[in-house]
Amino acid sequence: MKKRIITISREFGSGGRTIGKQLAEKLGVSCYDKELIEKLAEQTGLAKKYIEEQGEYAPAMHPFSYAFVGRSVNGMSVSDYLWNEQRKKIQEIAGKEPCVIVGRCADYILRERDDVLNVFIHAPQADRAKRIVEVYGETETEPLKRLREKDKKRAINYKYYTEREWGRAENYHLTLDSSMFGIEGSVNLLFDILNTERER
């Protein structure tokens, strides 16, 4: 079956979000990133900032951080509730339209579909550190430390909800070093791969 849905997982600072957005524009399909956060906020009543952080990042950098979050009488935390709503929304979107979905464990959530291309975008730390300063500006936290913290929290969140290792090649159809190809080159490469696959 032809790939109609592309999931973009990415290291912090690799440009994966930008690649996903530009690829969607080039394909003429929707990109769900901030748009997904807005839909979840409307659906759940949770704050956009909370969804943006808790939908992809663990509460802390320790693997047991989820053990210390508050839970309701049925044992579900707000993070668990958000995960369930996020999973349902991603499945709903995938069932309705061709699209690009950035992050939020979409590769795992849609793992049983055969019309999905799962991509992981990465880059060397030095290149990512330079990019986050250029894109997000200077902060009190040193760039390499920001990278490590963001990626660690993403990895813990991914492991907690999927029982898989974030960033491992076997979880994706394609891993791509954005520093080698650049943002535009990475977009064009993915576009060409999708077109080649569709022409077979």
**Mean pLDDT computed over 73-79:** 69
Q: What is the pLDDT of residue 73?
A: 46
Q: What is the pLDDT of residue 69?
A: 55
**Mean pLDDT computed over 59-66:** 60
Chain segment 150-165, per-residue pLDDT in tens: 999 999 999 999 999 9
**Mean pLDDT computed over 52-75:** 63
Q: What are the extents of the domains in the chain? A: 5-194
Per DSSP, what are the bridge partners of residue 10? 121
Q: What is the pLDDT of residue 64?
A: 55
CATH classification of 5-194 is 3.40.50.2300, yes or no? no
Q: What is the pLDDT of residue 49?
A: 85
Q: What is the pLDDT of residue 12?
A: 94
Q: What is the pLDDT of residue 158?
A: 93
For residue 81, name the pLDDT band (cuts at 50, 70, 90). confident
- Residue 156: both structure tokens together: 């813990």
pTM (2 d.p.): 0.89
Q: What is the pLDDT of residue 190?
A: 97
**Mean pLDDT computed over 107-132:** 95
Q: What is the sign, positive or negative, of the torsion defined by CA atoms of 166, 171, 172, 176?
A: positive
Asked whether residue 133 carries a pLDDT value surpassing 80, the answer given is yes
Q: What is the pLDDT of residue 71?
A: 52
* CA distances (Å), origin 137, targets 76, 140, 141, 150: 37, 10, 11, 16
Chain segment 95-116, per-residue pLDDT in tens: 999 999 999 999 999 999 999 9
**Mean pLDDT computed over 16-43:** 93
- Write the Ramachandran bin of 28: left for phi over 0, alpha for psi from -120 to 50, otherwise beta: left
- Give 195's contacts (C-beta < 8 A, 6+ positions apart): none
- The DSSP call for residue 77 is B
- Which secondary-structure segment (H or E) carries 81? helix 78-96
